[in-house]
Every structure is written in structure tokens, then in C-alpha cells.
Structure 1
Amino acid sequence: MPRQTDNRLLELSRWCADELNLVAGHPIQKNLEAVSGDASYRRYFRAHSDEPAQMSDAKTWIAVDAPPEHEDCRPFVAIANSWQRQGLRTPGVLSVDYGRGYMLLEDFGNEVLQFSLDDKTVSHFYDKALADLRLLQQTRIPDEYPLPAYDSAMLRREMELFPEWCLKQLLGMTIGQPEQALLDALSEHLVVSALEQPQVPVHRDYHSRNLMVLPEGLGIIDFQGAVLGPATYDLASLLRDCYIDWPQTQVYQWLDDFRARSDVLSGYDAATVRRWFDWIGAQRHIKVLGIFARLWLRDGKPDYLKDVPRVFAYLLWVCDHYPVLAGQADWLRSEVQPRLAQQTWWQDYRLTDE
């Protein structure tokens, strides 16, 4: 491990000890416990109280290492505090050092929603997640951090990750004029659809790995990338989750129920909202295919590759169900999928209707 990383962890441990004594009056154990990393430069550690359990009502906390040359803690803190005041369950921020990129947070535990989901529990948990999402879409923008607009430039920039990292670098494909024309037409359709939707606060990664099961409901994490964007984006993140999927008939039922109960979407007909949902999901999955390839090729993180078949299946599903995207569907199936199938980690994956 590089010496600089060791030094940051040592400094973080010392900072946590000082801050917890200052803000909570708790000594902590010497070593921080690694919890996880994510698809960024942030790292997460658990700090344990050094007091006997019976003397402490809060025995653990989460320490975050967010190197300031790569990450900015300000959006996380502003959004966490704002959403919590407005009724959403985000981690309490005990202390933050913006200059060094350290945060000390309330610990939501280890029960990630993804691993609590099955055919018997999904309706219960998704009812909660969708209710929280309706509230999230109604939240006021934090005064100290105006959410960036999820505008045309950002939407297009995200989709450019797919040809660069997935097609060219992972699969070794050459993007000629015909292929570029297909990609450009697809991008144009998806951007126009995104921008014609009501624009609301968007978490931007509202899925089963960023929702925590708590005694009082669901906790929301990893929201520092929130933007002001399309009203169906977080729906697509949750209902067409990159890490778990459900029969598409059920997905559309959840979508229709959400639309009917939503102050934002209830004034639009079901077909329009379904197209918005499908197409913003395609935009997201195009981006994710690029990101997952980049995480492997640039960052040496192979774990995300096993989810590429599901993400690609989502993209194909949408292109197959809209005649205007038939050319893209044919190209994905005839040119891209065979090259994906040559990868050692690839597995054929199909979504189901029922």
C-alpha cells in the first residue's frame, strides 16, 4: 500500500479520536476498521468506542476519507443536513474537516437494502423507498449548495463514457461514422426526453446499495452527487437497479403506482411517463457500462464486471421496445454483444416479463 495512503489513514484515526472526544466525549479504539470503498476515491472506516458497551449509547461511528484533490465534502454535508431537516433519514454529521477531506458520521450499520430483498420482502421495502423518493422530489434546494443542473452537457458527457471505455478500451472496437451516427442519434433522443421531464432534486444513485435498513425505516447514503434533473431518474435507478432486477411487469406496476401518487408526475399520462422512465434508464445504463469498464481498466476494480450483463440487458430491453431505436438495438445485438460474450467474466442475461 502506498505510504501516502497509510499516512492519511493514520491522520484520519488521530482526527477521529480528537473529534469524538470533543463532540461526543467518547474515546475510541486505536485502529479504524475498514468498512468499504466505493466507485470513487472515498474510503469508509468504522470507529469503535473504547468504553465498555454498557457505558456508551453510541458505540460506533463512520469515518470518511475523501481526499480533497479528488472529492469535496461540502455537497455531502449541505445535502445531508438539508434533507434531514425535511424528513429524510440521512447520516448525522458529527464533524467535518473540509481542508483535509475528513468526515465523522452517524453509523447506519451494515444492513444494505440489496441483501434484504427477496420476493417476499421487496414490496415492503420498495413501498418505503418510493415513499421516501416522493418526499425527496419535494425537498427544497439547500441554500448553502444549489444543486447543479443535470443539463444537456452533463447528460451527454456521461454517455460518452460508453464508447470510450466500454467499446474502444474494453472491447477494442473501432467507432466509425455509421456507429457514431447511431450513438449520436441515441444520445439525442435520450437527452431531449430527459429535459422535457419535470426537473426535481435527484439523488443520482438511488438504488439498493445506497439504502440502509434501519429500525425506523430506510437510511439514504452516497447522495453527494445530487442534481436538479429528470423526475424519473431516481425511479430508474431503483426499479432498474444495476445490482438486482425484478420482472418488468412488476417494474411498470411500481412505476404506474408512483406516478399516480406523485405530485410531480400525476398530471402526465402513463405512456409518457413510461417512455421518460425507459429512456432515462437507458441514459443511466449507457453511462454505467462506461463507468464499470473504467473501474476495471483504470482503477483495477473487477467486482463491477459481473453486473455488466444485467446493465446491458436493460439497455437492450429499452431499444427493443421502441421502434425509433431499432437500429441501435440491431447494432448492440449484432456487434457489441458478441464482443462482450468473448470476455471471460461474461454471462448471458435476460430480463423477464413475469
Structure 2
Amino acid sequence: MFNSKPTPAGRQNTMTDASNLQREAALKTWIDQYYPESSQTLAPASADASFRSYYRIQTPNGSKIVMDAPPALENSTPFVEIGRQLAASDVLVPHIEQVDLAQGFMLLSDLGNTHYQDILSSESARVLYEDAWNALIKMQKLDASQLPKFSPSHMAMEMDLFDEWFVGVHLKATLTVRHRQWLKEVKLALINNLSNQPQVFMHRDFHCRNLMFAANNNPAVIDFQGAMEGPISYDLASLLKDAYIDWSEEELLDWTIRYWASARKAGLPLSSDFDSFYQDFEWAGVQRHLKVVGIFARLAHRDNKPNYLNDLPRVLNYLEKTTRRYRALAPIAKILDDLQDKSVQVGYTF
């Protein structure tokens, strides 16, 4: 699960081995308040791109998930508040059994270990995605007015990760004056488009690693603590133009039409012109993918998580294909073309 909420530049997880051992001891003591000796069964449950860690324990009441989110590095209050809001709207999310915000510990229901990424295939995708966008529609019908706004400044900050981390750090390249002007113009066009879309509840990382298969009320939705009020097409772009899985353009078009029809039937404020919505969907994807490229580079180079580089070519492919379709976005494709030579010099190909 990667957390799209941009991390302030330079923030590092500086916990030493000693402090890690102290935190583990504190976590086990906290667990044993509720399930004596269950801390002895503590085992890693999943990886995360943030500073949160997840563990599974065995209790007399079955397995549970323990979340460890150091308060100095992660704010867990949104997880609690947004989780309750989603659960009240019949979206399946982890039930919070116990929480200690001061220490950053939570005891959650165990929703299993089958992520969408594990079971998506050409045979299963139609049904799984229909379940996913039905859950998304439930979320988008919520009152999002109290959530942080996906503001122009926030969108710009996210896209700037592309320049800083992918171009500057990963490729060790310097953008020309012309490149910087092109990027400035494209970013402004994207911000204008996304700002003018209907603004709804936005999960922000609605993809195959944050959806888990559930026998009832599928899917279970996780990693929602970064939710904001933002453009209605964004989460669908996250879902269908997923950084971790490929689909044909024909499939993407078909599923987007099906979501659009379902969302309009549910009363969401979507344009009656599908072509207009599809352009919004594609432009939201470009804004997101500029961010994701930067985040994957940052995870590799700052946070020592190089596996995220394996998925960079897929996201760059989304950017290249989509930006060639729209004159206002085409400079991104040209910049990527110009960066190809530099990428070969550092041993990386798109």
C-alpha cells in the first residue's frame, strides 16, 4: 500500500535499533492488556509505503490486526474518524476494537489477506471492479465538506515530486528552461481541470493493494486515512489506471462507461456527456501519475524501498499514452522523450 499523501521533504524514519526494540516492547505490553500473551504470536501482516506497520496476532476471539503508527511520523486520528464515517455508510472497513492515539497503536478486525491484486484476472476483473465502483459510489455520496481540500497548492505540491524525485534524483537530470515552462503550463491546465470537476469524497489511493476481497459486502477498503474532498474522477483513475496492474484500453473504456452509468443512476453530479467525463478521468490520471512517479522514486532513493521502481515503467506508459492524446498535455510526452537519453545513461529505461 503506498500512501499518496506527500511526505514533507527530508522527513526520515530515524528510529534506531534500540528505539525500535523499545517500541516493539511497548506494543507487546499494550496488546497484552486486551489479549494476555497474544503478543507472543505477533507476525508481520503487510508491507506499507508509509511509516505504519501492520501485524497479525492470534487471540481467543480469532486473529486480529495490530497497527503501529508512530505518532511523530503518522497522524492516526483521520483513520479513526474516516473509518467510522465509511462504516456508517455500509462501506466495509476494518473495525477498530481498541485504539491508543497517544502511542499510535490500534487493534483492528482481521479482514484476511486476499488483496484485489492477488485475484484480479481477465475472468474476475469485471465482477471485482463492479463491486469496487459500487463501494466507491457509496463513498462519493458522503458529505466530504469537512475533509481537507484537494486544493490547487496541494495538487501542485504532488506534481512537483515528479521534477524533484524522478527527474532530479532518480535520473540525475536537470530540466531545461523550456521543459520547466512546459511543465508549469501543463500543471496549471491539470489543476484547472481537476478544480472544476464536481468535488466529492476522494479516497486518494483507491487501487488493487488497498481493496481486499470479502465474502460479504465486497470489497473491504483500507488505507483511507488520507481522504480529501476532490475531483469525482480521481478515484476511478486510481482504480482503473492502477500503478500495479495492466488492462487494455478497450477494457478501461468499457469499465469507465459502466461506472459513469451507475454513478449517474445513483445521483452523483456527473456530466451527461460521457466524452467530457472520460477526458476528466484521463486528466485526473495524469495528475496522479506525475505524483506517483515522484513518490516511487522517493521511496526508492530516500526510504530504501527499491521494489517500487519495478512499477515505474507502467506509470510512465500511462503518462506517455494519455498526454499524446491531448494537445494541452502533449508537452509531458515530449519531456519524457527528451529524458530517454538521460535514463539510459543512469541504467534505467522507461
Q: Same fold per TM (> 0.5)?
A: yes
Alignment match of 1:304 (pick from 299, 302, 308) = 308
User: Are the aligned partners of 2:45 and 2:55 in contact in 1 as well (CA < 8 Å)?
Assistant: yes
Task: Using the TM superposition, give the Cα deviation of residue 13 of structure 1 relative to its aligned residue in structure 2, in angstroms.
Answer: 1.4
User: Are the aligned partners of 1:34 and 1:44 in contact in 2 as well (CA < 8 Å)?
Assistant: yes
Task: Using the TM superposition, give the Cα deviation of residue 214 of structure 1 relative to its aligned residue in structure 2, in angstroms.
Answer: 1.3
1:28 corresponds to which residue? 38
Task: Using the TM superposition, give the Cα deviation of residue 264 of structure 1 relative to its aligned residue in structure 2, in angstroms.
Answer: 2.0
Q: Distance in 1 between matches of 2:319 and 2:69?
A: 32
**Residues 121-132 of structure 1 aligned to structure 2 (within 5 Å):** 121-132=124-135
2:268 corresponds to which residue? 264
User: Are the aligned partners of 1:64 and 1:103 in contact in 2 as well (CA < 8 Å)?
Assistant: yes
Find the residue that maps to 1:149 and give its secondary structure. coil
2:112 is the alignment partner of 1:102? no
1:135 corresponds to which residue? 138
Q: Distance in 2 between matches of 1:178 and 1:121?
A: 45
**Residues 72-151 of structure 1 aligned to structure 2 (within 5 Å):** 72-141=75-144, 146-151=146-151
User: Are the aligned partners of 2:115 and 2:213 in contact in 1 as well (CA < 8 Å)?
Assistant: yes
- How has the CA–CA distance of structure 1 residues 108 and 345 changed in structure 2, closer, same or farther, with 3 Å as cutoff? farther
| Cα distance per residue 1:81-105 (max 9 Å; x no partner) | 1110111000000111111111111
2:207 corresponds to which residue? 207
User: Are the aligned partners of 1:139 and 1:201 in contact in 2 as well (CA < 8 Å)?
Assistant: yes
Q: Distance in 1 between matches of 2:74 and 2:256?
A: 34
User: Are the aligned partners of 2:149 and 2:228 in contact in 1 as well (CA < 8 Å)?
Assistant: yes
Alignment match of 1:14 (pick from 8, 12, 29) = 29
Q: Distance in 2 between matches of 1:155 and 1:310?
A: 22
2:152 is the alignment partner of 1:152? yes
Q: Distance in 2 between matches of 1:195 and 1:255?
A: 20
Q: Distance in 2 between matches of 1:153 and 1:187?
A: 11
Find the residue that maps to 1:95 and give its secondary structure. strand
Q: Distance in 2 between matches of 1:200 and 1:48?
A: 38
Q: Distance in 1 between matches of 2:223 and 2:29?
A: 24
User: Are the aligned partners of 1:199 and 1:229 in contact in 2 as well (CA < 8 Å)?
Assistant: yes
User: Are the aligned partners of 1:259 and 1:265 in contact in 2 as well (CA < 8 Å)?
Assistant: no
**Residues 128-277 of structure 1 aligned to structure 2 (within 5 Å):** 128-141=131-144, 146-216=146-216, 217-262=218-263, 263-277=267-281
User: Are the aligned partners of 1:112 and 1:209 in contact in 2 as well (CA < 8 Å)?
Assistant: yes
Q: Distance in 1 between matches of 2:289 and 2:45?
A: 27
Of the structure 1 ranges 320-329 and 298-307, higher mean CA displacement relative to structure 2 is found in: 320-329
Q: Which structure's relative contact order is higher, taking Cα pairs within 8 Å and 6+ residues apart?
A: 2
Task: Using the TM superposition, give the Cα deviation of residue 276 of structure 1 relative to its aligned residue in structure 2, in angstroms.
Answer: 0.7
Task: Using the TM superposition, give the Cα deviation of residue 327 of structure 1 relative to its aligned residue in structure 2, in angstroms.
Answer: 2.8
Q: If the length of structure 2 is used for normalisation, what is the TM-score?
A: 0.91
Task: Using the TM superposition, give the Cα deviation of residue 29 of structure 1 relative to its aligned residue in structure 2, in angstroms.
Answer: 4.6
The gaps in structure 2 that reach 5 residues or longer are: 1-15
- How has the CA–CA distance of structure 1 residues 29 and 74 changed in structure 2, closer, same or farther, with 3 Å as cutoff? closer
Q: Distance in 1 between matches of 2:33 and 2:261?
A: 50
Task: Using the TM superposition, give the Cα deviation of residue 162 of structure 1 relative to its aligned residue in structure 2, in angstroms.
Answer: 0.6
How many positions carry a matched residue from both structures? 331
- How has the CA–CA distance of structure 1 residues 343 and 107 changed in structure 2, closer, same or farther, with 3 Å as cutoff? farther
Q: If the length of structure 1 is used for normalisation, what is the TM-score?
A: 0.90
| Cα distance per residue 1:308-332 (max 9 Å; x no partner) | 0000000111111112223332221
Q: Distance in 1 between matches of 2:188 and 2:207?
A: 26
1:351 corresponds to which residue? none
Percent of paired sites with the same residue: 35
Q: Distance in 1 between matches of 2:319 and 2:143?
A: 32
Find the residue that maps to 2:38 and give its secondary structure. coil
Q: Please provide the CA RMSD for this pair.
A: 1.6
Alignment match of 2:71 (pick from 65, 68, 88) = 68
Q: Distance in 2 between matches of 1:308 and 1:194?
A: 23
Q: Distance in 2 between matches of 1:337 and 1:112?
A: 34
2:4 corresponds to which residue? none
Find the residue that maps to 2:40 and give its secondary structure. coil
**Residues 49-64 of structure 1 aligned to structure 2 (within 5 Å):** 49=59, 56=60, 58-64=61-67
- How has the CA–CA distance of structure 1 residues 198 and 20 changed in structure 2, closer, same or farther, with 3 Å as cutoff? farther
- How has the CA–CA distance of structure 1 residues 342 and 218 changed in structure 2, closer, same or farther, with 3 Å as cutoff? farther
Of the structure 1 ranges 199-208 and 31-40, higher mean CA displacement relative to structure 2 is found in: 31-40
Q: Distance in 2 between matches of 1:20 and 1:195?
A: 48
Q: Distance in 2 between matches of 1:105 and 1:198?
A: 33
Equivalent residue letter for 1:123: R
